[in-house]
Structure 1
Amino acid sequence: MPMHDIAILIPAAGSSSRMKGRDKLTEEVEGLPLLRRQAKRAIFTGAHVSVTIPCHDHPRAAALAGLPVQLVAVPDSELGMSASIRRGISFLPHGIRAVMILPADMPDVETADILRLVEGFRATPFPMLQQATAADGTPGHPVLFPADCFPALQQLTGDKGARDVLRANEHRVRRIALPGQRALTDLDTPEAWDMWRARQTPIPA
């Protein structure tokens, strides 16, 4: 099914302030910077992919070189996640019916998981938000927002992401369980990276 009317927004303009001088989004996973790997998983869906970055000469832009993604610079990125969402939504192409906000630091989210949320959106007769959860039902990410939420997303402030918009639309949130902890695992500290990498290393027989 064509995906030209669905957008995936990857907010990647934050400062990695908890990484003790490292940039979590250029840490390597399977030989690729995490941000490039996440963008490729989004691209594989066929949707329009937009990535916010601090500025166009930032190393994160270089990590995305050659990929068919829309890069959106966020000059006020120090204001928090809301700055990325506001600007990312403002630069979406016309005709987009829904946008999925896909955190850049969640390496366990796979292309098939993203497609499940999109399919859930298409399957409902009226526009519903689609939120990924852990296998046990704990709410997580990513979250897909129908186009009628765009004005509210453009009014966000602070560093809470789109939580307020999600809460205001609680009555029409459809939750979709992803396997294990995929919808919850984010890597924003060196300790989280170490624990995650340890889980990826096969135990010798």
Structure 2
Amino acid sequence: MRKQAMELSAGIPLGSLGLRALLSSRLDGVAVVVRPDDPLNWLESIGMEAAAVAHGAGAAPRIVVCAEAERGMAFSIRRGLEDVLEKRPETEAVVIALADQPFITADMIDELICRWREHPRLDYVATAGSDDGRGEPLLLPPALLNRSMFEALRQLEGDAGARGLFRSSRYRGRGLPAPSGKTLLDVDTLRQYDLACRLLLDETGLP
């Protein structure tokens, strides 16, 4: 079973929660990058088309298949960007979010957008986590990346996401503090999965 299909509670797949947040935000559209063998059953729980129309994305999220997803996150990012620019060549910025961050919120996404609109010369606006060990906040997804970074995204390789670009002196950006530690939870291990299940139970009261 793909990680995004693992249920945090009955009928609530891990990947559906972050997608709900994106669909509820001010984003103009959402592209969901998946592996070729993804059965997409984890998307059924949210009624994608109805959710998109009701909450503002304007259309059902596009499913974008990445044939090279097994080679690392970089290839999924590159494929997603390629799709966005094919559909909307005039795109000025993109937001990158991960399917295994179930507690991100629409407000987080909207704040990234608002901050960038206030300071359009910024190359990126990212979510700021705890200290990275060098006295600086750790910059994480969800993150908004300006068009000035599109070429760098196209050059990513392997399992490198956009985080490495945030450390580059070539780019000027800003980190926005996460509203809570929970919103930064990235479910990569069974221990983190168990924690996410408990946090969702505390939040909703669902069994």
TM-score between the two structures when normalised by the length of structure 1: 0.78
Q: Does 1:118 align with 2:113?
A: yes
Separation in 2, partners of 1:151, 1:98:
12
Q: Deviations over 1:137-189 (max 9, x none)?
A: 44332111001211110111010212332222565111100122145311111
- Counterpart of 1:59 in structure 2 is 39
For structure 2, the 5+ residue unaligned runs are 49-59, 132-136
Structure 2 distance, partners of 1:142, 1:183, is 10
CA contact (8 A) 2:26 2:110 kept: no
Contact 1:141–1:183 (8 Å) recurs in 2: no
Measured against aligned partners, the alpha-carbon deviations of 1:84-126 in whole angstroms (never above 9, x if no partner) come to 0111111102221111110110112111111111111111142
| Contact 1:142–1:183 (Cα < 8 Å) also in 2 | no
- Partner residue in 2 for 1:141: 141
Structure 1 residue 100 corresponds to structure 2 residue 95: yes
Counterpart residue identity of residue 180, structure 2 = G
Find the partner of 2:31 among 50, 59, 77.
50
Q: Which moved more, 1:33-42 or 1:85-94?
A: 33-42
Where structure 1 has 5 or more consecutive residues not aligned to the other structure, the ranges are: 1-21
Richer in helix (by share): 2
Q: CA deviation at 1:190?
A: 1.4
Question: CA–CA distance in 1 between the matches of 2:150 and 2:42?
Answer: 28
TM-score, normalising length from structure 2? Answer: 0.77
CA distance, structure 1, for counterparts of residue 90 and residue 128 of structure 2:
28
SS in 2 for 1:188: coil
Letter in 1 for 2:128: T
Tell me how large the CA RMSD over aligned residues is. 2.4
How many Å apart are 1:135 and its aligned residue? Answer: 7.0
Tell me the matched-pair count: 181
The alignment partner of 1:105 has SS state of: coil
Per-residue deviation, 1:64: 2.5
- Specify the code of the residue in structure 2 equivalent to 1:191: R
Structure-2 separation of matches of 1:82 and 1:171 = 19
Aligned partner of 2:2 in structure 1 is 23
Query: How far apart are the structure 2 equivalents of 1:138 and 1:166?
Result: 9
Identity %, equivalent residues: 29
Counterparts of 1:106 and 1:125 in 2: how far apart (Å)? 26
CA-CA distance at 1:71 after TM superposition: 1.1
Aligned AA (1:26): A
Match of 1:15 in 2: none
> Which of 7, 10, 14 is the matching residue for 1:34?
14
In 2, Cα distance between the equivalents of 1:125 and 1:63?
Answer: 35
Amino acid in structure 1 at the alignment position of 2:163: R
